[in-house]
Chains A and B, each alone.
Chain A
Amino acid sequence: MILFYKKAIQDIRDNGFLNAVTIITISLSVLIVSALALFFVNANDIMSSWKKGISIMAYLKTDIGETALPEIKNKIQGMYGVAEVEFISKEEAMKRLKEQMKGHSSLLADLQENPLPDAFEVRLLTSSADSKKVENLAVQIEAMPSVEKAEYGRRWLGRFTNVFDLFKFTGYAMVGIFFMAAVFIVANTIRLVIYSRQDEIEIMRLVGATDRFIKTPFYIEGLIQGAIGGIIGLAALFVAFMLIALNVEQVSSSGIFQIRFLSPGVLCGIMLCSIFVGWLGCYISLKQFLKYKTG
């Protein structure tokens, strides 16, 4: 086995340029694929935090007395898909508005009378947070006689979800394409290496070397290329991630969503795929080569 490793490493040295090309190709593919994965992981996080934040504001008619409130609350609470209902009095609403408009509160200070209505804030179960269900619920709430108007903010979310799904699909397609491109290029470089050593391989055969003896160093070479390519690709992604993460943190220190790097499991998966690419490229080119040489 040590002998095979030595041979593989010798090969990589002897064919420096070809190997550099292969490793760079694998690295780039890994970088692009893992960048996509990183994007989707974080986009998913953001999406679910948005979904969690979806709520319907049910503004009450001005003539509703305090005594009627518990009944209304119960009724909304009983609707399908509702997680939580919170009463927000007009005073509370004004306070929140002032807070949001910090620094511009002089605009509000002039108001003699609070123009805001009382309202219920209806939070939804995450599972019900898609556009159809939200809309249905809003219609249902608005139909209540005591409710003036039911509003929900993130109408665009529904459409965004669809776009996101489309993105995901293109993402998968791109992963597939890069995978095949990487395999193709590895197969090609190994093929070139094989052709450059054709005479040597022929002599090895003549002195009694088995196919396995001849092939093993090439496989090790492919695996090493895959591993190095994977490490370089992921390292590049990590550097890029750190740069971006620093900037994003400065922009939104609010911490609603933190972007995070790929989990160890996903990283391992990408590494394994990268190594597999090396192996598969090798397998394909050796298979072709042995088809020609049947002596």
Chain B
Amino acid sequence: MIDGNDKNSIIRMFHVHKQYGAKKALIDINFDVSKNEFLFITGPSGAGKSTLLKLLYFGEPVSEGQILIDGMNLSRISRNRTPFLRRKFGIIFQDYKLIPTKTVFDNVALVLEAMGKKRQLIQKKVNSVLRMVGMEERSKSFPQSLSGGEQQRVAVARAVVGVPRIILADEPTGSLDSESANVIVDLLKGFHTRGGTVIVATHDKELLRKTGSRIIHLKEGRQIK
């Protein structure tokens, strides 16, 4: 059993395994993430990057091992507490996961509504993050009418609007040209400079080369040094 008294780590993983039926998606993963770290997770398709992020935000339980997030042990978290764990994260999903029946504005506002924030505050904050990602003009549009890069930017806006402790970005530059990719990377860096922790899962070699950050390599579910 472990405890979360390491003052510097916001995430700790101990001998984490994840299995889907007979398929072993992750095998014995061990690492810590410090507060205000900018961390990359990389590896070929199917290596388990998305699965790893999913375990962090408790999208699925681990098969074995322990995960600590900001002092919360995920194997002991109750159903009632799960939403509060999720609010520690801003998540940029590989497939964006925008709600197609809601406008750009409402998609972003949802995070703050769920937290029970006041309407005026929501209005102000949502407009300000949409301005930041350059999507202010499209706030009344629906996701289908946006390009991939624009949807990606809305996803970033939604991830940062609640001022989370950690951003999880799954392939945030996946289908973007290098110019749009740079916009996203700058946004993530901005969040990092303001004191946030960022974890990016990617196999974008270009992206990795540009940074001097720590990189965790995965291959067939294993962490390789």
Contact = CB atoms under 8 A, between A and B. Distances in A.
B207 interface: no
Contacts of B146: none
A291 to B, nearest CB: 12
Contacts of A263: none
Contact of A208 (B79, B87, B93): B87
A206 B97 contact: yes
A203 B113 CA distance: 13
Contacts of A203: 97-99, 110
Given A3-B113, A295-B60, A14 B101 contact: yes
Considering residues A14, A203, A205, A211, which has the most beta carbons from chain B within 10 angstroms of its beta carbon? A203
B114 to A, nearest CB: 4
Contact of A207 (B84, B114, B119): B114
A208 B86 contact: yes
Contacts of A210: 80, 83, 114
Interface string A203-218: 1111111110100000
A56 B204 CA distance: 104
A294 interface: yes
A123 B60 CA distance: 81
A249 interface: no
A294 B114 contact: no
Contacts of B57: 206
A209 B83 contact: yes
A99 interface: no
A208 B114 contact: yes
Contacts of A208: 83-84, 86-87, 111, 114-115, 162
Contacts of B162: 207-208
A92 interface: no
A200 interface: yes
A72 B9 CA distance: 108
Interface in A214-254: none
B59 A207 contact: no
A204 B114 contact: yes
B56 interface: no
Interface string B90-122: 010100011101100000001101111001000
Contacts of A209: 83, 110, 114
A238 to B, nearest CB: 39
Bin chain B's interface residue count: 20 to 34
A264 to B, nearest CB: 38
Interface string A81-124: 00000000000000000000000000000000000000000000
B79 to A, nearest CB: 7
B86 A207 contact: yes
A57 B119 CA distance: 80
A203 B110 CA distance: 10
Contact of A200 (B60, B86, B101, B111): B101
B87 A200 contact: no
A207 B158 contact: yes
A211 B82 CA distance: 10
Contacts of A211: 79-80, 83
Contacts of A295: 58-60
Nearest to B93: A206
Contacts of A207: 86, 91, 110-111, 114, 158, 162
Given A206-B59, A207-B86, A208-B162, A213 B114 contact: yes
A204 B107 CA distance: 10
Nearest to B61: A295
A200 B59 CA distance: 15
B99 A205 contact: no
A14 B101 CA distance: 10
A295 B102 CA distance: 24
Interface in A270-295: 294-295
Given A209-B83, A210-B83, A204 B59 contact: no
A207 to B, nearest CB: 5
Given A14-B101, A200-B101, A205 B110 contact: no
Nearest to B164: A208
- Give 8 closest A-B pairs by Cβ, nearest first: A209-B114, A208-B87, A208-B86, A210-B83, A207-B111, A208-B83, A200-B99, A203-B97
16 contacts: A200-B102, A206-B59, A206-B86, A206-B91, A207-B110, A207-B111, A208-B83, A208-B87, A208-B115, A209-B110, A210-B80, A211-B80, A211-B83, A213-B116, A295-B58, A295-B59
Interface of A: 3, 14, 199-200, 203-211, 213, 294-295
Given A205-B82, A206-B93, A213-B114, 8 more contacts: A200-B101, A203-B98, A204-B110, A206-B86, A207-B91, A208-B83, A208-B162, A213-B113
